[in-house]
């Protein structure tokens, strides 16, 4: 028995594809995806078409999920304004609810920001419901987003921009840490294959420990740091006020500003 009602998915990139996979695992009613980069194809629970004009006549989705680049929104969105009975769930960075509602003829809009661990069902999505979104529509959007990880809701849409900077872009920062640990290990004479193995497992294992623990991240850090030991010496470099503390704050501020720029 299908648990997910019919969905119109616009965009089958990494995030759209991850969400679709999660819905199918939970049981997806016959749905439609639009992606001009893929050949049109029918399926038992998803039909892929190249454009809005090719959506089967009579198809009535409960939700329209917008998973495309924000730069394509102005030209693309008006083609979907006819689906006024559906809730519009946007995972585009930067595009605000007011602008989305204008482009979609005043439709009910939920704006959300997931992140790439959604690909393995370990994502975190923060969502904000716009004017006119019913409790049933909000619950449906929560159901769609929970298929790829945890979901949190905020009432203040302005928070979605820093959310985009922190959790939306956060996986890239973590991957950069693994990249730099590997590079530093090689600089200290560790063979490249071992350096890669160490860096990847240290980052993934630490993340798993953090997820499994009720302790604050600062306490877990302190638990690894012996007084006058090697870790303390390394942290003295990283935690200098002009090193990680300042750099991370500046990076998140820059990403937040860019998210606001994308919203126009």
* Dihedral class, residue 11 (left if φ above 0, else alpha if ψ from -120 to 50, else beta): left
Q: Is the pLDDT of residue 1 over 60?
A: no
Collapse the DSSP code of 114 into the 3-class scheme (helix H, G, I; strand E, B; otherwise coil) and give the result: coil
Report the range of poorest mean pLDDT among 90-94, 113-117, 163-167: 90-94
Residue 88: phi and psi, rounded to 5, are: -95, 115
Q: How far is CA 134 from CA 70, 88, 247, in A?
A: 25, 12, 41
At 44 the pLDDT is 82
Could you report the per-residue pLDDT of 131-153, keeping only the tens digit for each? 999 999 999 999 999 999 999 99
pLDDT band at 259 (very low <50, low <70, confident <90, very high): confident
Tell me the per-residue pLDDT of 204-229, one tens digit each, with 9 for 90 and over: 999 999 999 999 999 999 999 999 99
Q: Which domains does the chain have, with CATH numbers?
A: 7-157 (3.40.50.720), 170-262 (1.10.3730.10)
The per-residue pLDDT of the chain, averaged, comes to 94
Locate 35 and state its tokens.
């992606």
- 46 contacts 20 by C-beta, under 8 angstroms: yes
Q: Which residue has the higher pLDDT, 239 or 94?
A: 239
Q: What is the pLDDT of residue 93?
A: 87
Distance CA 101, CA 130 (A): 9
Task: Look at residue 74 in the predicted model and tell me its pLDDT.
Answer: 87
34-38, 40-44, 130-134: the lowest-pLDDT one: 40-44
Placement of tokens 């689906």 in the chain: 83
Average pLDDT over residues 113-127: 95
pLDDT for the residue numbered 194: 98
Q: Report, as an integer, the average pLDDT of 25-44.
A: 89
Cβ 23 vs Cβ 7: under 8 Å: yes
Q: pLDDT tens digits, residue range 246-258?
A: 999 999 999 999 9
pLDDT 10s digits, 64-87: 999 998 888 889 999 999 999 999
Yes or no: say if 29 and 5 are a contact pair by the CB < 8 Å rule. yes
Q: Is there a contact between 117 and 41 (Cβ–Cβ < 8 Å)?
A: no
**β-pairing verdict for 109-113 and 123-129:** antiparallel
Please state, as a whole number, how many other Cβ atoms lie within 10 Å of the Cβ of residue 204: 12
Distances (CA, A) of 200 to 115, 236, 252: 19, 23, 24
pLDDT tier, 42 (very low <50, low <70, confident <90, very high otherwise): confident
pLDDT at 234 over 90: yes
Q: Whole-prediction pTM value?
A: 0.89
Average of pLDDT values for 2-29?
Answer: 93
* Percent of the chain with pLDDT strictly greater than 70: 99
Which CA distances in Å does 50 have to 35, 42, 58? 5, 12, 17
Pair 114, 88: CB distance under 8 Å:
no
């Amino acid at each position: 028995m299908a648990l997910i009602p019919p969905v119109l998915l616009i965009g089958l990139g990494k995030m759209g594809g991850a969400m679709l996979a999660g819905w199918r695992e939970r049981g997806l009613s016959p749905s439609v995806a639009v992606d001009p980069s893929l050949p049109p194809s029918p399926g038992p629970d998803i039909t892929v078409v190249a454009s809005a004009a090719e959506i089967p006549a009579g198809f009535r989705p409960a939700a329209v999920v917008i998973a495309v680049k924000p730069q394509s929104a102005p030209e693309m969105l008006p083609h979907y304004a006819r689906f006024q009975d559906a809730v519009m769930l946007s995972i585009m960075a930067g595009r605000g609810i007011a602008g989305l509602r204008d482009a979609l003829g005043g439709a009910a809009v939920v704006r959300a920001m997931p992140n790439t661990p959604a690909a393995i069902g370990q994502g975190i999505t923060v969502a904000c419901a716009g004017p006119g979104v019913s409790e049933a529509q909000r619950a449906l959007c929560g159901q769609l987003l929970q298929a790829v990880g945890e979901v949190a809701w905020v009432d203040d849409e302005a928070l979605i921009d820093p959310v985009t900077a922190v959790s939306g872009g956060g996986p890239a920062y973590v991957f950069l840490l693994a990249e730099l640990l590997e590079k530093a290990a090689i600089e200290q004479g560790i063979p490249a294959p071992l350096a890669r193995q160490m860096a990847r497992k240290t980052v993934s294992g630490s993340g798993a420990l953090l997820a499994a623990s009720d302790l604050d991240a600062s306490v877990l850090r302190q638990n690894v740091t012996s007084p006058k030991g090697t870790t303390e010496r390394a942290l003295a470099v990283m935690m200098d006020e002009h090193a990680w503390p300042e750099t991370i704050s500046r990076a998140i501020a820059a990403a937040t500003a860019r998210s606001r720029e994308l919203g126009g």
